[in-house]
């Protein structure tokens, strides 16, 4: 009965649940902004803080700048960039790296070129999987899977 369903995910971004002025309930207003039900005090979750900072400081220089001024850990900021929740100014030096070629990018997980390659690869893999499925007879399932695993490891 007393069991509480506490789920912690990056999606929560340290949501303010209780007003730090009067202890009232914080109501979500959108884009990471919350307002107290009772005293109208405004507060932000990590996403709101970073977003507000970027909006008011369009020339943020480094990831560290954002981290220091918002108190939001770099890991979380990087996650937001990956999820394309926030966007960095064009002339800023805040970058994350393409997961494949390590080129500097501003948001998402891959640079444009690698994103293209990944899309093609994923389409090919999907086609291959469907092919495997249609080829599998009785008892061949595990064999086919093992072969696929070995193939991936060798690459």
Residues lying near Zn ion in the complex (CB under 5 A): 19, 21-22, 24, 36, 38-39, 41, 98, 100-101, 103, 111, 114
Minimum distance, C-beta of residue 112 to Zn ion, in the bound complex (Å) = 8
Give 24 or 108: the residue with its C-beta nearer to Zn ion: 24
HEC-encoded secondary structure of 13-51: CCCCCECCCCCCEEEEEECCEEEECCCCCEEECHHHHHH
Burial class (CB in 10 A: 0-12, 13-18, 19+), 137: exposed
Residues 57/69, Cβ–Cβ less than 8 Å: yes
Give 36 or 80: the residue with its C-beta nearer to Zn ion: 36
Minimum distance, C-beta of residue 96 to Zn ion, in the bound complex (Å) = 11
Minimum distance, C-beta of residue 24 to Zn ion, in the bound complex (Å) = 4
Residue 46's alpha-carbon distances to 18, 30, 35, 148, in angstroms, are 15, 13, 15, 41
Give 19 or 54: the residue with its C-beta nearer to Zn ion: 19
Minimum distance, C-beta of residue 33 to Zn ion, in the bound complex (Å) = 14
Give 112 or 146: the residue with its C-beta nearer to Zn ion: 112
Residues 63/92, Cβ–Cβ less than 8 Å: no
Minimum distance, C-beta of residue 43 to Zn ion, in the bound complex (Å) = 9
Give 22 or 124: the residue with its C-beta nearer to Zn ion: 22
């Amino acid at each position: 009965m007393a069991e509480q369903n506490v789920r912690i995910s990056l999606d929560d971004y340290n949501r303010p649940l209780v007003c730090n002025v009067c202890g009232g309930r914080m109501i979500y207003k959108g884009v990471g902004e919350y307002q107290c039900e009772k005293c109208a005090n405004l507060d932000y979750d990590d996403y709101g803080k970073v977003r507000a900072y970027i909006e008011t400081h369009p020339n943020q220089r480094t990831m560290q700048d954002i981290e220091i001024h918002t108190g939001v850990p770099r890991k979380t900021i990087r996650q937001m960039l990956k999820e394309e929740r926030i966007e960095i100014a064009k002339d800023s030096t805040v970058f994350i790296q393409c997961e494949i070629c390590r080129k500097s990018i501003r948001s998402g997980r891959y640079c444009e070129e690698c994103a293209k390659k990944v899309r093609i690869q994923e389409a090919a893999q999907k086609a291959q999987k469907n092919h495997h499925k249609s080829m599998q007879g009785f008892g061949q399932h595990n064999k086919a899977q093992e072969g696929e695993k070995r193939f991936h490891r060798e690459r």
